[in-house]
Amino acid sequence: MSKYSHLLRLPKDRFTSGVMAGFRFVAQRMLLKPVVWSITDVTVLGREQLKGFNGAFVVVANHSSHLDAPLIMGSLPQRLARYLAAGAAADYFFDVWWRRGLTALFFNAFPIDRTGTAERKGVSKKLLGRGVPLLVFPEGTRSKTGEMGEFKPGAAGLSMLCDVPIIPIALVGASDAMPRGRNWPKPGRPPVTVVFGAPMSAAPGENAEQFSARVAQEVRRLHASRTPSGDLGYDTSEKGAA
């Protein structure tokens, strides 16, 4: 039985619909990924960390570019990306119908409220409770400098509340390839690297802030491992992963 068979028993909407997942496959793997992989030089490392991994989860990564979500969704094994829903700023990506439609189609996006109101409170928890994996950028917004900012503890708290692991990911070079303020990557296929870490869960007695700090430390470690003096220590790498 498929690990997603439980979704077949849920009321169908775009988050759990197999038909919509098929449309997203076309949009993500046959349209978006070929474009991103053709205008940047993508290296994917550490995917063996996810071998045999199943179930719901929260993807956590540093955030500095509009390339980040396409890189993550294109690098994840398709079995894990099929129902992945990305958190997107409600005040920007859901403000007009065409942007709302595109983010829903390409990223299965759900609104993240940055205004401080409680209108959309609990959406993330409900999706995880239904078995829908999430992509969350704990910094809350793209870095202006490319430097990784402080992680808010919300993603770690969700992981603990819903008893699902976090998959840490470091995105290296995305800010240089397409810094904040640009609408298209720099010419010349700039190099970017997606580095997967092993799934993480909260330790006994750890609170959300402590777990979040540990996840942030791991993302920083993965990122630093791609500096000239760094060493990932992984056995396999994948250039231009499918």
Residues 115-132 pLDDT 10s: 443 444 588 899 999 999
Strands 134-136 and 237-239: unpaired
- Nearest by Cα to 91 from 154, 165, 146, 141: 141
What pLDDT does residue 189 have? 96
Compute the average pLDDT of residues 218-234.
Answer: 71
Q: Give yes or no for a contact between 39 and 185, defined as CB atoms under 8 angstroms apart.
A: yes
What pLDDT does residue 31 have? 94
Compute the average pLDDT of residues 218-240.
Answer: 63
Compute the average pLDDT of residues 10-36.
Answer: 87
What pLDDT does residue 120 have? 47
Domains of the chain, start order: 14-239 (3.40.1130.10)
What pLDDT does residue 228 have? 55
DSSP string, the chain: --TTGGGGGSPP-TTT-HHHHHHHHIIIIIIIHHHHHHHSEEEEE-GGGGTT--S--EEEE---STTHHHHHHHHS-HHHHTT-EEEEEHHHHTSSHHHHHHHHHHH--EEE--SS-STTTTHHHHHHHTT--EEE-TTSS--SSSS--PPPTHHHHHHHHHT--EEEEEEESHHHHS-TT-SSPPSS--EEEEEE---B-PPTT--HHHHHHHHHHHHHHHHHTTSTT-----S-EEET--
Ramachandran region of residue 232, left (φ > 0), alpha (ψ -120 to 50) or beta?
A: alpha
Helix axes 18-25, 97-107, angle to 10 degrees: 90
* Res. 242 pLDDT band, cuts 50 70 90: very low
- Nearest by Cα to 192 from 178, 173, 169, 179: 173
The rounded mean pLDDT for the chain is 84
The CA–CA distances, whole Å, from 239 to 33, 58, 199, 230 equal 14, 25, 22, 18
Rounded to the nearest angstrom, the gap between the alpha carbon of residue 64 and the centroid of all alpha carbons in its chain is 13
- Nearest by Cα to 170 from 104, 239, 217, 219: 219
Residues 184-225 pLDDT 10s: 999 999 999 999 999 999 999 999 999 999 999 999 999 999
Residues 137-150 pLDDT 10s: 999 888 877 788 99
pLDDT of residue 58 exceeding 90, the answer is yes
Token code pair at residue 135: 């992509």
Compute the average pLDDT of residues 227-236.
Answer: 42
Compute the average pLDDT of residues 18-31.
Answer: 92
Compute the average pLDDT of residues 95-115.
Answer: 76
* Res. 230 pLDDT band, cuts 50 70 90: very low
Q: Give yes or no for a contact between 136 and 111, defined as CB atoms under 8 angstroms apart.
A: no
pLDDT of residue 11 exceeding 50, the answer is no
Q: What percent of the chain has pLDDT over 70?
A: 82
What pLDDT does residue 183 have? 85
What pLDDT does residue 9 have? 42
Residues 27-44 pLDDT 10s: 999 999 999 999 999 999
Token code pair at residue 136: 């969350």
